[in-house]
Structure 1
Amino acid sequence: MRVYRPAGSTVSAPCICYVHGGGMVTGSVDGDDAKAAELARATNCVVASVEYRLAPENPYPAAIDDCFAALSWIAEGRHELRIDPRRIALYGPSAGGCLATATTLLARDRGGPEIACLMLVSPMLDDRASTPSSFANTGFGAWSREANLQAWEAYLGEDFGTDRVSPYAAPARADDLTRLPPTYVDVGDLDLFRDEAMDFAQRLMRAGVPVELYVYPGGIHGGENLAPSADLTVRVRSRRHSALRRALRVPSPAAEHTGP
């Protein structure tokens, strides 16, 4: 774990458990260091970034075990971290969205820790990759259908493509989505994960979970990494930060930069 505390934060601050992306096969706390630090600054929350084990060397359930252990450590270490255990969010981009959702399912089924908000950014949720967008959207050099299938196979091993895949491995397979925390989902309309993200958000709504869903015209998977200063990137990030502050009851700053 790497913990980021904003300057001037107080005792009982909210905490965001940040789970990096990378298809479960790449990525690291170091690689997302700047993103986690910016998230702490923008939300005025403590951010705890998880260094989980990667496939294929460490297939399912290694990564989800690490993420659940991290969430439990955050909740149990609330006094040391000076956080409010009632205001913990899980935040996951791409594969981090898969692991954040799976961790939320585990927390529900194991009776805790309590999660106040789940934030999913272009989440990678369904190993079956059978939606129209998973075929139509090429990845534009950022994350292709081929890379997606290879990553799922590395993560799931011999269970890949079978009915043995657990919903804790691929959350789109979960039948019961009740009693999950309020969830924020955003995805680009040119993202290969567009349809599975939208379908998951709609299923959450039908299960009675409060959901914010945003689909951005012209957005591709990983587009904000390719163009971090683009107007779309700035607007999308601002909306996420505002949603997190609302969910975690953090006072909004007097003004927030929303574009050039």
Structure 2
Amino acid sequence: MAEYRELAQPHPQWVDFPNNLPPGTKVDKMTRDHLPITSQDGLYIDELDDVKSGDETITLRRYRTMDATGSLPLVLYIHGGGFVTGGLETDDYMCREIALHVPVVVLSVKYRLAPEHPFPAGFEDCLEVIKWMTSPQGQAKTSTDLSLGFVLGGTSAGGNFTAGLAHAMLEQNITPQPTGLLFMASSFCHPDVRPSQYRSQILSVHEVDDAPGLTVKSIKYFAERYGAPPDDKRYSPLLYESRKGLAKKAFFQICGWDPRRDEAILYRSLLEAEGIEAREKIYRGLPHGFWTTCPELKESRDAIGDTMEGVRWLLE
């Protein structure tokens, strides 16, 4: 939307990235790495290989505080990476922080990536995880109780999956439906199939083309390698006519200097219009998923703190 253009005024530290970052700033590059788990005081972290998607085994990394007893609510976390990169290491820091500060079990999904495994492979992997996690067997194995709360969410492509998966759960009568949806720097529609009634409200996808992390060119690159038909609702969930019943609440973290900004702001308003309580945090002048790229910056630590507060609110 035109009134949101001022949100794209770049934060000085991110201009000419990474040259203006404070000296010594850690910059994490997006990779497909699957590294041995690094232990951390206060956390129990392990990996589960109980879920099958076709002939493939889908690894889940589980995070839980050492002092937790009994079954806990679930946060099912889906990493970003444009459907073609990323992995269990991508948001490991975020998953650790959630598990340390909120009484939940966090499960991070290692779904298959394009172009080797094009659409809908990754989506179907996550859906199989949901089917298992909503079963008594899945909850028993992971020490979770979804009646206490179930948050589904992720960053970037993970947020895109989240919206489509919530719809798939409704369509396939997979219960319980999520208590809350967590959308972090998320996308909701291929630019070429934006509904005509919303085109004037989604301008950033063409106007914001100078930010680190995501540009018009990189959106096209990721879309081509993912291979989803632009009008497939699993990829462009904005095309659904209704969003009623997807969850009770939704929490949005939206980057101001991000081509995906406007569709996230619009999607929040659409959820609210259909009775889903929604909140948003907008980060003025900061680029797509900045907390993943430089998690130790003050702005990133503040955003990660917002995630903790958002998850707590989603579970209330």
In structure 1, the residue matched to 2:311 is 244
Equivalent in the alignment of 1:9: 68
Cα distance in 2, alignment partners of residues 241 and 12 from structure 1: 20
SS in structure 2 opposite 1:234? helix
Number of the residue aligned with 1:32: 91
Alignment match, 1:88:
150
| Preserved contact between residue 18 and residue 48 of structure 1 (Cα < 8 Å) | yes
Question: Partner of 2:9 in structure 1?
Answer: none
Quote the residue 2:244 is aligned against.
178
Secondary structure of the residue that 1:44 maps to in structure 2?
coil
Provide the rounded CA distance (Å) in 1 between the counterparts of 2:94 and 2:303: 14
> Structure 2 vs 1, CA of residues 139 and 186 (structure 1 numbering), >3 Å: closer, same or farther?
farther
Q: 1:20 aligns with which of 79, 92, 105?
A: 79
Tell me by how many angstroms 1:67 deviates.
Answer: 0.7
1:222 aligns with 2:289: yes
**In the superposition, relative to structure 1, how do residues 31 and 236 fare at CA in structure 2: closer, same or farther (>3 Å)?**
closer
Answering whether residue 127 of structure 2 is matched by residue 65 of structure 1, we say no
SS state of the match for residue 245, structure 2? coil
Which residue is equivalent to 1:112? 174
TM-score (norm 1): 0.88
C-alpha contact (below 8 Å) 2:94/2:304 kept by paired residues: no
Shift of 1:139: 5.1
Change (3 A) 1:139 1:82: farther
Say whether the 8 Å CA contact 1:143–1:222 is kept in structure 2. no
Per-residue Cα deviation, 1:134-179 (whole angstroms, up to 9, x for no partner): 122225231221111121122235x34xxxx221122122211111
Q: Deviations over 1:59-109 (max 9, x none)?
A: 221111111111122222111211111211112100000011111111122
1:245 partner letter: R
User: What is the CA–CA distance in structure 1 between the aligned matches of 2:314 and 2:95, rounded to whole Å?
Assistant: 18
Structure 2 gaps of 5+ residues are: 1-59, 195-201
* 113, 117, 128: which one aligns with 1:54: 113
- Distance in 1 (CA, whole Å) between partners of 2:93 and 2:267 is 29
Q: Assess, with a 3 A threshold, how the Cα gap between structure 1 residues 102 and 139 changes in structure 2: closer, same or farther.
A: farther
Is 2:181–2:314's contact at 8 Å kept on the other side of the alignment? no
Deviation at 1:202, TM superposition (A): 0.9
Cα separation, 1, equivalents of 2:300 and 2:89: 22
- Greater CA drift, 12-21 or 216-225: 216-225
Contact 2:88 2:110 in 1 (8 A): yes
* Residue 184 of structure 2: aligned partner: 121
**5+ residue gaps in structure 1?**
250-260
Q: Is the 8 A contact 2:291 2:300 kept in 1?
A: yes
Q: 1:225 to 1:31 in 2, by over 3 A?
A: closer
Bigger radius of gyration among the two: 2
Give the structure 2 partner of residue 143 of structure 1. 214
2:233 is matched with which residue?
Answer: 167
TM-superposed deviation, 1:26 = 0.7
Relative contact order, higher structure (CA 8 A, sep 6+)? 2
Question: 1:206 maps to what in 2?
Answer: 273
Taking structure 2 as the reference length, what is the TM-score of the superposition? 0.73
Contact 1:55–1:155 (Cα < 8 Å) also in 2: yes
2: CA distance between counterparts of 1:27 and 1:34?
13
Cα distance, 1:193–1:11 mapped onto 2, change above 3 Å: same
Match of 1:255 in 2: none
Which of 213, 224, 227 is 1:153 aligned to? 224
